[in-house]
Structure 1
Amino acid sequence: MTAAAATLKAAGRSSESAEQRDSAVEITGSLARRGASIRQSLGLGTKKHKQEPLEPVTEAMTPSEEQTEVIDTVLELRDTYTLPEIPPVPLSDSAVEITGSLARRGASIRQSLGLGSKKHKQEPLEPVTEAMTPSEEQTEVIDTVLELRDTYTLPEIPPVPLSVMEINKLIDMEVLEEAYVNLLSLCLEFQKEHQALDQEDYPIELVNKEKDLSLLYGTLRNKMFVIVRNSSALPSRNKELLVYVAYIILEEEKRQGEPGAMQGWRETNPFKGYDYGFNYEFNCCFHSEKVMGSSSLQPELKEDQRVLTLDNDFLNQIKDKYCACLQADMKTSLNRIIELENEDMWREKRKPVIDEGIYTSHIDMDIWTNIKGHVQGSRRIDVNLEQKVVRSCLEELKTFPKRFESAFVKWSSPLSNSSLWAEYHISYINSFSALKEHMESYQDTCPIQLGLVQNEIDGLTTRLSQAVMENFKTDVKPFLRRQMTGKWFSFNEDFSKLISRTETLSDQSKYMTPKHKQAFVNKAHFFVVKEYVSQLMKNNYSCKNRKNETAATKITNQWEELKEIFQDMNSTLDWLHPVGNQLSMIIGCKKSDVKQHLQPLVNNYPDIRKSHLSAVLYFRGIIRGREKHTILQRLAELKQSSGNTGNKEQALFSEIQAAVNTDCMAGTPFSCLSFIVPDS
């Protein structure tokens, strides 16, 4: 090859290489310009950092084989490449910014909780589009609400409202507007009736109407909550209902502060009353999976990037703070229950409401509904949060029975002699027993905490029941102590008062729940029998001149009255019934016949001792002598032959202390031998 040819070939290669470099530079510039254009269309702006200028390409920057291959490919595609179809709707600014917003909010909440910032670097997430755009139905409802804000007029309120059941049915059937205007009509009716009364006159019918109003408002509010909550899942079905919800909210906005306005109408999510950080964070955690998992994500997004996750320590601290706030709210609600009871019942001295034949209060339903709402709300957030919420509620509820008791005792002590005092006690026995039954639904969730709550409730109901019983005992003891005395033969007023007080107790016990009523009645029955029989054991009086026959007749008649009362009260202590008649037979019979009446007494009451029978004989008029000794000896023989030590659950005489007769030295020496015989 000639030198000229070589020079020409070299120049050709140089010219071709220069042309390729020019093409590559042009393509690079075009790609850069397209990238800038795309960033601008997405609202991302331009790069903020300064880029160093590129050095000019010289001969020394000869491309490698791989780079030369890439350049050749670009040159081949230059005339054949076609840009993919441009989407009809560009990415929205809000969609592009959502990931950054989530990250910023998360960082803010972490800082407020003192958790610091994440140390590891997270790869940027691709923007989310379609999942964040409201549907046409939702957009239409929003527009309708905005238009109605200044133009909506409430339909005419009917002069006579529908019944409570009819209004409740309308709410259940989601006929919201008609239900609402009838509810307003019922509220106006209540206000007029209330204003027409004296302050001290508040009939039970008005109390019930007030509670009906509260329940109906609560039912309507809950129905609105469900409709709003389900609006995203069933937009077509709930579109019209959402509009009616908007009607009611707009009206309630106008009526805020007026008497009878609905409380809690703003509550459209389960996080009411708690830190907004929790509201955001839990919504972020549980809705981000739906958003990040949308099919509208860029194909390049990795599967493990589709869930916006938070580390477990962070979530646990959020849940702990959520439960702490909830427990504080629970304490406030429980204290408010005591305040309302004081304002509505104690100060006004209103009689308890009778529901299904028993005294009741609203306390158990208020507490149960409150806890149930918290638990259901937590379940919608996270099934693992539910147990923590139940535990927090139970821990706060555990201290409530004693707080309530303290406030109630402080108020009620001056009224201990009134029937209202006992009625309140019985209503709270019933109410807290019902609360205990309601709480049993959390047995599987938190058995330990529930057990502690149940112990506190049992302690309260026991103390309330004991208070009523002790009040009864204190009331009737003076009447019982004046039985079997010299005055007793001709004076019946004390026994009549005993019967009257017992009948009052019987009437009150009818309004107890069956479970508590039975135990209460049995205790009252045992107490009256024991105290009545005890009067024979005190050696206060000894019958003379055939007065024993008069005494026996009176004991028999009085015993029949007592037995009849406790049978009417459905006492199950039937084994107590024979003792009065058997003792009266010993008192009224001839001295020689006393031994014949011992066998039934020993059979029914094997715990009777010699001291008991000796006291009965003293009242009978057998104070000393051979007759008394032989009678006591016969008792010892019967007890020994029967071998029956007695049923501890049916022990009567072992609960009675008998007076000891020390007058034996005045009689024959043989009678004194009775003291050698053990008192058994």
Structure 2
Amino acid sequence: MKVKVMLLAYIYSCSEKTGHSLKRFQNRSVAVWIRVKSIFRRFSLFRKSDGHIKKNQSIRSLKAFISEDKDEKVTPEKFEFKATEIPLKPCSVLQIKDYIQTDMLKEAYLNLLSLHLELKLEQSALGEGESHSNLVNKEKDLNLLYDALRDKMSVIVCNSSALPSCNKELLVYVATIILEEEKRRGEPGAMQGWREAWKDAVLYGVRDSLKKVPLDSREKNASWLAVHLEHLGKAVVEDLQRVKTELLSSYPADFNVFETYVSCHHEAVGEHLKRLLEKVTELKDYYALLDFIIHSYPSDLQDHQRALIMEEDLNKIQTSYCHCQKEDFKLELENFIILETEAWKKKKSPEITEDGFLTSKIHMDICQLIVSYAGNLEKIDENLGKSVVSSCLEELNPFYTRFEKEFSQHTVSLLTSDLLDCCLWVEYHITYINSFSSLKENLQCHKESCSAQVEKLEKEVDGLTQRLRQTLMDHFKSELKPYMDGMMTKKWLKTDEDFKEVISRVENYSGLCKSMRAPSAQIFVNDVHYYVAKEYVSQLMKKKYSCKKPKNEDAAIKLKEQWNELRKLFVQMGSSLKWLYPLGNYLSDIIGTEIEKNIKDLLHPLVSNYPDISKKQLSAVLSFRDNGFSLEKHNVINHFTVLKRDAGNTNHEHSFFTDIE
């Protein structure tokens, strides 16, 4: 009642100055009075509240912290003024401005309300068509003061992120003023966007807080980014802990203070990470960034409407990581080649496993490197791990080519040196046949996730090991050829010198084959067996010598003995070409048969088991037996022709004579 009387007195005094009747102002002020009464009913004195910051340095502790119910119960009355606190006469504009500058928000805002009411009453007192320049200036002053007040409130909110306990009472004033101004929304001259300005101020404060997180230069600290992100995570946790324990009591529940701060931290951290990304060039830093975004940054802070950073930015980081990882892997592969090269230069003997196989650590190093890459990313992102493994597998393809080139260039000189170096050259080839075969087996674990890359690698490894085996075979052939050329000659009948050399070299390779892993060992043994058999038999086709009686019987005996010796050796070596074993006996029987016409009886098993033998080749065998012409020899050839015709063009499991020139 007292307030009403005082207000009416003020209205009356205004009417006296302007010459208008009290009744006119009473009628116009009823609505204003009802509004003022409603305003003051919703305000009350501010109340201080103490907060306590719980120290917890681990970013992963935030989830438990957020789930704790520590919210202070806030009553609506806390954000209301008493009706009697509005001054009947506002203080000067300069005084209100001083209140704002000195953080006296309550005094500033109550006087602004009084000034606002005074302006409305004075505007209402003017008649239609009347104007007063003082009122225009007063309205400008009022708007400027409101702008200044909102700016000051933004500064207070912004600073509260760093020093919440120092601003708790001021924040209550901020919240109360915002609530009141939102009630005035839609009124003529009312200032809009108070809640939005508050949210912007929260964001600015969070940004300023994150700018204070220590950030060393790359030159000063190699782990600059990982250390910074650790500090950043802790800063986020500590900021939100302060919000929960100290700021919630300064706002009404509908402000959703904690959720707002979480969202602002989310946005500010995302902006900060995008700026950091511009400085990242190394693999470890990309990893630190991904680990923070996907794994370390608390999921509780994730904005449900969006990711921490835009998907395109995350894809950019992941792509850059894969590229950087691939370059790192490529560099490591080059280092492996350098290490192997040093061993070749020093003529270092290869290592031998417990089960007797020659080996190099190169395949283990490669596999361990890929596994370590994938293992590091398992906790971050499974798909990213697959992408990295895939890129590494792709990089192995050109690596095989580079390795093969370097290996050939750095080891070829061993062949021009002594016998020990030649043996070392062979051991090196077996070593890498074993190692890359093992690499192929070990990479099978990635076949499910990277099937295309693994299948391509299998072909590459098979090609490399095949070329290494072929190089060994070419060397073996070059060693054997001079002695094979001495077979089926007059000298051959008299001495076993050349044959013994053949046996000696086969035995040497037999010992080396024991240090070669399957299946390469089996393939190589079969290749050696096939070549020796082919070269031995081909000497019969070259018409270098004709035995004639009785030397053909001696030649047959020698051929059978040597063939059986070779057979015994290849059985010991584990050759699977058992179909070659009867051939020597068939040829020996033809050469040693005393009666020429009986040769026809020996042709059937020969043609049946080796249908690719030609008429020319059979004639060469007969010529070795006796190069003279006879009717019986002619009949043998005709019989052979019939056998070949009856056999037809049926495909045979094996071919042999086709490869003999």
TM-score for the superposition, normalised by structure 2: 0.61
| 1:598 alignment counterpart | 603
Please report how far the alpha carbon of residue 13 of structure 1 lies from its aligned counterpart in structure 2 after TM superposition. Answer: 9.7
Please report how far the alpha carbon of residue 491 of structure 1 lies from its aligned counterpart in structure 2 after TM superposition. Answer: 2.2
Q: 1:379/1:603 Cα in 2 relative to 1: closer, same or farther (>3 Å)?
A: same
1:144-543 mapped onto 2 (5 Å cutoff): 274-276=283-285, 278-292=287-301, 304=304, 309-344=308-343, 346-416=345-415, 418-543=422-547
Please report how far the alpha carbon of residue 636 of structure 1 lies from its aligned counterpart in structure 2 after TM superposition. Answer: 1.4
Q: Does 1:129 align with 2:259?
A: no
Aligned counterpart for 1:640 among listed residues 636, 640, 645: 645
Please report how far the alpha carbon of residue 98 of structure 1 lies from its aligned counterpart in structure 2 after TM superposition. Answer: 6.6
The aligned amino acid for 1:56 is L
Q: CA offsets, 1:59-114, max 9 Å, x none?
A: 45369xxxxxxxxxxxxxxxxxxxxxxxxx98799x99776566899x999xxxxx
The aligned amino acid for 1:320 is T
Please report how far the alpha carbon of residue 502 of structure 1 lies from its aligned counterpart in structure 2 after TM superposition. Answer: 0.4
| 1:652 alignment counterpart | 656
The aligned amino acid for 2:507 is E
Contact 1:288/1:308, CA 8 A, preserved across alignment: no
- Partner SS state of residue 495, structure 2: coil
| 1:630 alignment counterpart | 635
CA distance in 2, matches of 1:567, 1:8: 125
CA distance in 2, matches of 1:653, 1:8: 129
CA distance in 1, matches of 2:166, 2:544: 102
Contact 1:98/1:128, CA 8 A, preserved across alignment: no
Contact 1:605/1:646, CA 8 A, preserved across alignment: no
Please report how far the alpha carbon of residue 655 of structure 1 lies from its aligned counterpart in structure 2 after TM superposition. Answer: 1.6
CA distance in 2, matches of 1:440, 1:605: 40
Q: Among the aligned pairs, what percent are the same residue?
A: 37
Q: Which has the larger radius of gyration?
A: 2
Alpha-carbon RMSD across the aligned residues, in angstroms, is 4.4
| 2:120 alignment counterpart | 61
Q: 1:328/1:102 Cα in 2 relative to 1: closer, same or farther (>3 Å)?
A: farther
Q: CA offsets, 1:637-659, max 9 Å, x none?
A: 22233446451x411112222xx
The aligned amino acid for 1:623 is G
| 1:608 alignment counterpart | 613
Q: 1:379/1:537 Cα in 2 relative to 1: closer, same or farther (>3 Å)?
A: same
Q: 1:130/1:460 Cα in 2 relative to 1: closer, same or farther (>3 Å)?
A: farther
Q: Does 1:583 align with 2:592?
A: no
CA distance in 2, matches of 1:541, 1:49: 123
CA distance in 2, matches of 1:623, 1:354: 59
- Partner SS state of residue 543, structure 1: coil
The aligned amino acid for 1:353 is I
Q: 1:132/1:49 Cα in 2 relative to 1: closer, same or farther (>3 Å)?
A: closer
Please report how far the alpha carbon of residue 427 of structure 1 lies from its aligned counterpart in structure 2 after TM superposition. Answer: 1.2
CA distance in 2, matches of 1:478, 1:292: 80
CA distance in 2, matches of 1:57, 1:394: 75
CA distance in 2, matches of 1:469, 1:462: 10
Contact 2:344/2:411, CA 8 A, preserved across alignment: no
Please report how far the alpha carbon of residue 378 of structure 1 lies from its aligned counterpart in structure 2 after TM superposition. Answer: 1.6
Please report how far the alpha carbon of residue 463 of structure 1 lies from its aligned counterpart in structure 2 after TM superposition. Answer: 0.7
Please report how far the alpha carbon of residue 366 of structure 1 lies from its aligned counterpart in structure 2 after TM superposition. Answer: 0.4
- Partner SS state of residue 240, structure 2: coil
Q: 1:47/1:314 Cα in 2 relative to 1: closer, same or farther (>3 Å)?
A: farther
CA distance in 2, matches of 1:639, 1:7: 137
Contact 1:622/1:628, CA 8 A, preserved across alignment: no
Q: 1:439/1:544 Cα in 2 relative to 1: closer, same or farther (>3 Å)?
A: same
Contact 2:549/2:626, CA 8 A, preserved across alignment: no
Please report how far the alpha carbon of residue 443 of structure 1 lies from its aligned counterpart in structure 2 after TM superposition. Answer: 1.8
| 1:299 alignment counterpart | none
CA distance in 2, matches of 1:443, 1:625: 66
The aligned amino acid for 1:314 is D
Please report how far the alpha carbon of residue 358 of structure 1 lies from its aligned counterpart in structure 2 after TM superposition. Answer: 1.6
- Where relative contact order (Cα < 8 A, 6+ residues apart) is larger, the structure is 2
Q: 1:604/1:510 Cα in 2 relative to 1: closer, same or farther (>3 Å)?
A: same
- Partner SS state of residue 571, structure 1: coil
CA distance in 2, matches of 1:428, 1:598: 46
Q: 1:478/1:9 Cα in 2 relative to 1: closer, same or farther (>3 Å)?
A: closer
Contact 1:607/1:645, CA 8 A, preserved across alignment: no
Please report how far the alpha carbon of residue 518 of structure 1 lies from its aligned counterpart in structure 2 after TM superposition. Answer: 1.3
- Partner SS state of residue 358, structure 2: strand
The aligned amino acid for 1:498 is V
CA distance in 1, matches of 2:645, 2:6: 146
The aligned amino acid for 1:321 is S
The aligned amino acid for 1:339 is I
Gaps of 5+ in 2: 14-29, 52-98, 123-162, 168-202, 218-235, 246-279
CA distance in 2, matches of 1:128, 1:449: 47
Contact 2:614/2:657, CA 8 A, preserved across alignment: yes
Please report how far the alpha carbon of residue 28 of structure 1 lies from its aligned counterpart in structure 2 after TM superposition. Answer: 7.2
Q: 1:101/1:579 Cα in 2 relative to 1: closer, same or farther (>3 Å)?
A: farther
CA distance in 2, matches of 1:49, 1:554: 121
Q: 1:131/1:363 Cα in 2 relative to 1: closer, same or farther (>3 Å)?
A: farther
CA distance in 1, matches of 2:546, 2:599: 16
CA distance in 2, matches of 1:577, 1:495: 18
- Partner SS state of residue 563, structure 1: helix
Q: 1:475/1:465 Cα in 2 relative to 1: closer, same or farther (>3 Å)?
A: same
Q: CA offsets, 1:124-154, max 9 Å, x none?
A: 9994228999xxxxxxxxxxxxxxxxxxxxx
Q: How many residues align?
A: 454
Q: 1:494/1:20 Cα in 2 relative to 1: closer, same or farther (>3 Å)?
A: closer
- Partner SS state of residue 304, structure 2: helix
Q: 1:450/1:101 Cα in 2 relative to 1: closer, same or farther (>3 Å)?
A: farther
Please report how far the alpha carbon of residue 612 of structure 1 lies from its aligned counterpart in structure 2 after TM superposition. Answer: 1.1
- Partner SS state of residue 353, structure 2: strand
